[in-house]
Amino acid sequence: MKNVLFTVVLSLALYTVSQAQDRGLEIAQAAEKADLGFKSSASNLKMVLKNKNGQVSERALEVRTLELVEDGDKSLIIFSSPKDVKGTSTLTFTHKNGPDDQWLYLPSIKRVKRISSNNKSGPFVGSEFAYEDLSSQEVEKYTYKFLREENNYLVVEQYPVDPKSGYTRRVVTYNKDAGYRIETIAFYDRKNALLKTLTYSGYKLYKNNFWRAAKLNMVNHQSKKETVLEFLNYDFDVNLTDDDFTQNALRRN
């Protein structure tokens, strides 16, 4: 009898755990699904880096993204300023499983270099964004646990699959009523201390379907540094194709 009770309790507990996992995964999938079908987009960004004393440094970038369904998205980032890196661009193929592929074109030597992509947890051009924060958010890159629902917000904890990730977990807040768009992400470092908070703001609905934030504000709570990403525009009519995301395309820009 005791054993039966124990089994029931255990299976109930397991059931609750797996239910939380399922619910978390469902939400992530719903978010992915809601954003399906944008095909390709292009936007211009301003990145503002701020240190503890408020010293500011700016960079300008252009980002192009190509939506892929069977594998992760492809993206191209072109630096327009500072002047000495103008024209430098990165090409990334995100993969649902395994490490991403990444190339960098250096106009100064007119060469494309492949970057060893074991490391993607480091800061992106000295900012508070890690490369892994900016790359395409594929569902397969995390495992999930649903935490709670607050009004129209769903809070899900996500655990990176990649052992080289800089995080133990992220706590993501989705907006159920607005295409499961992400409102905030809290990042916890390897010792499980709160490291950064990313806040999305200035959301606008494009093509009646796709929510895009105009501003991403990343605050590092440990170093007190801050980086703001401002999206100056979004173009969903660029009609980019696979040919625009090749090593040769890198050189062309």
Partner 1 sequence: MNAFKKIKNSANQFAINWARFVIKNKWYVFVSAVALTTVLGLQGVMKFDGDYHVFFSKSNPELEAFDALQEKYTKDDNVILVLSPKNKNVFTKENLTAIEELTTEAWNTPYSSRVDAITNFQYTRAEYDDLYVDDLSYDSANKTDSEIGAIRDVALNEPMLVSRIINPEGSVTAINITVNLPGEDSALEVPEVMNSIRKMTSEFQKNHPQFQIHISGMVPLTTAFFEASMKDMALTGIMLLIVILTTFILTRNFQSTLATLLVVLFSIVSTLGFVGIMGIKLTPPSSVFPTMILTLAVADSIHILITMLQKIRKDGMDRYGALIESMRLNFMPVFITSLTTVIGFLTMNFGDVPPFWDLGNIVAFGMTMAFLYSTTALPAVMAILPFKKVEKRDASGTSWFNFDSYLGLSSLVIRQPITVAVISLAIIGGLTYLSTKNSFNDEFINYFDKTVQFRSDTDYISDNLTGVYNVEYSIGSGESGGINNPEYLNKLNDFENWLYEQPEVIHVNAFSEVARRINKSMHSDDDAFYKIPDSREEAAQYLLLYELSLPFGLDLNNQINVDKSETRVTVTVKNLDSPSMIAFARRGEDWLRNNTPEYMHAIGVSPMLMFSKLGFRQADSMFTGNIIALVLISLVLMLALRNFKLGLLSLVPNVAPVLVGFGVWALYKAQINTGMVIVFGMTLGIIVDDTVHFMSKFLRARREYGHSPQRAVEYAFQTVGKALVTTTIVLLSGFAVLSTSSFALNSYMARITVVIIIAALIIDFLLLPALLILTSPIKKARKRYTSVLFYR
Q: Which residues bind partner 1 (CB under 8 A)?
A: 49-53, 55-57, 79, 82-85, 88, 90, 102, 104, 106-109, 111-116, 118-126, 130-131, 164-166, 189-191, 193, 222-223, 225
Count Cα atoms within 13 angstroms, Cβ side, for 71: 13
Minimum distance between the CB of residue 76 and partner 1, rounded to whole angstroms?
A: 14
- Closer by beta carbon to partner 1, 37 or else 82: 82
Nearer to partner 1, 96 or 111 (CB): 111
- Tokens linked to 189: 């470092």
- Judged by CB, which is closer to partner 1: 123, or 179? 123
- The set of long-range contacts for 70-79, using a CB threshold of 8 Å and a minimum separation of 24, is 71/95, 71/96, 72/96, 72/100, 72/136, 72/138, 73/136, 73/138, 74/242, 74/245, 75/135, 75/136, 75/245, 76/244, 76/245, 76/249, 76/250, 76/253, 78/253, 79/125
**Closer residue to partner 1, CB minimum distance, 194 or 205:** 194
Nearest to 228 by CA among 140, 149, 147, 128: 128
Q: Cβ 245 to partner 1, closest distance in Å?
A: 18
Nearer to partner 1, 24 or 166 (CB): 166
117: phi then psi, degrees, rounded to nearest 5? -105, 25
Nearest approach in angstroms of CB 32 to partner 1 is 25
For residue 106, the minimal CB distance to partner 1 (Å) is 4
Minimum gap (Å) between residue 196 Cβ and partner 1: 11
